[in-house]
Structure 1
Amino acid sequence: MTNTEPHTPKDPQGLYIPRGGAADGDYVLDIDPRRAGWTHSSLRIVELAPGGAHTFATGDSEWIVLPLEGGCTVQVDEKVFQLLGRETVFASVSDFAYVPRDAQATIASGAGGRFALAGAKCERQLPARYGPAPEVPVEERGSGTCTRLVRNFASAYAFECDKLIAVEVITPGGNWSSYPPHKHDENRPGEEAELEEIYYFEIDGRNGFGYQRVSPSREGGSEVLAEVRSGDAVLVPDGWHGPSIAQPGHAMYYLNVMAGPGEKREWRICFHPDHAEGYR
């Protein structure tokens, strides 16, 4: 008998969000700083029927519109960007559109699809821009059963934003990623940057699942051990996060959205001292 029900998570602080657990209006997932209990990072997922459209005001945040499934147009004031998108998150890298703060944007899709809006509260209003898929740096990280593919579409060095950092990771079935466990919950110049992080998951194949671990880096810190499935999310306000474990035979995708209060937009992490050797 196939068990399709999620495992009850070890999650005393409510940091695991099952699919539908943060739906709001047009969004099947809507995580903003108020919902997360922090100051900067946001993630929304909108699903559009064929011919559908969605308009939103950016407010005090910058956003990247990233196709997860399907293509769309993104109109920002007078500019229009055509996003070819992709069939699924496992198929390929996608193009994307950057939408600045204090603007209005409309996402429209003739064929329909599912689109992520990765956001961060920010100060500067940068210009709206198109991000071509061929310019996304892709790297293989780790080795052996900790090998994974990282798509650095909006990493701190690959694409200019004011505060937002966002990447995609594909973990092959049976592999571990986000390993060794690492953290970024303190501002230590040159060593570590304080960043709030959201993990959004999709699993390849029917009944696929994975596991996500967050453990405390200080007394009373964040702790999660959750079975994750497509559409689930995990919040990481602090703590050691990792591993992310993919079920054998089912690749795991996650979208990481990060931002924080530091003056510099940088991704600096500290590895767990008990697991720091190898497999980075």
Structure 2
Amino acid sequence: MSLISCRFYEDKFPEIDSFVMVNIAEMGAYVKLMEYGNIDGMILLSELSRRRIRSIQKLIRVGRNEVVVVLRVDKEKGYIDLSKRRVSPEDIVKCEERYNKGKMVASVMRHVAEKTRTPMETLYQHIGWPLNKRYGHAVDAFKLSINNPDVWSDIDFPSEAVKDELQSYISKRLTPQPTKVRADVEVTCFGYEGIDAVKTALRTAEAQNTAETNVKVKLVSPPLYVLTSQCLEKETGIKTLERAIEGVKKEIEGQRGSCIVKMAPKAVTESDDAELQDLMAKKERENAEVSGDESESESDEGPVQGDI
């Protein structure tokens, strides 16, 4: 058995009418079934496309991954006939999702195999395939095990070293990381108590904070403010900021002010955060330069420019 390669599923061959991910081999319509240990298959020329074929090379490119459907399987001879033209866009999405899950499990198994010198097929036999049966997919069981150790209660690990390495690696790699969501708004109020009105309105964004939906407000430079939230689900964070902005709008408009969304809530990356920090630092330097100009003019007899 190979140390670092194995099929994703217990069955050595795919079922007829199932959708599989293949990699186009060098010989035109000959392919490798990536989920089944790279066994050979062939896309029949009549099953390449619903349209007239002008160039096979343009239709299927060597080295490219494709989703195809299984037409026939001869387990004795190892022949697998496949079709590309019978695959719908919906089928492609579902197959890609399943394949990506399987690829993640394979990556985990490969790591454990290399660390413990245990063949991958042994790991699949004892861990991967039993979890597929019980939880639908081993990757779902892996994620569940982070907070629920009972997932492993019926698993017969090949060794304690395998158990320790697997649980440690899953904890490091699959623990959900919080997503940061951000929105930029301009809040203004030119009434008699405008400053207090803006402060009160922005406080409403943080008024409904919980451990799961925590909103923070930062000043970039009046009237621009940044609202941020961190949570495990991106959609939850977006909805949280949308509710916060609605609360700010309602409060400030009640004081005859306005709240304009300059950037709608969206998930941001570290580079976005770095750009925001650079912008805030730039505004801070500009304010510091103004303060310095004022101090130099203190010797003048007239009122200093910028004094309130």
State TM-score, norm by structure 2: 0.25
Larger Rg: 2
Greater fraction of residues in helix: 2
Q: Which has the higher strand share?
A: 1
Structure-1-length-normalised TM-score: 0.27
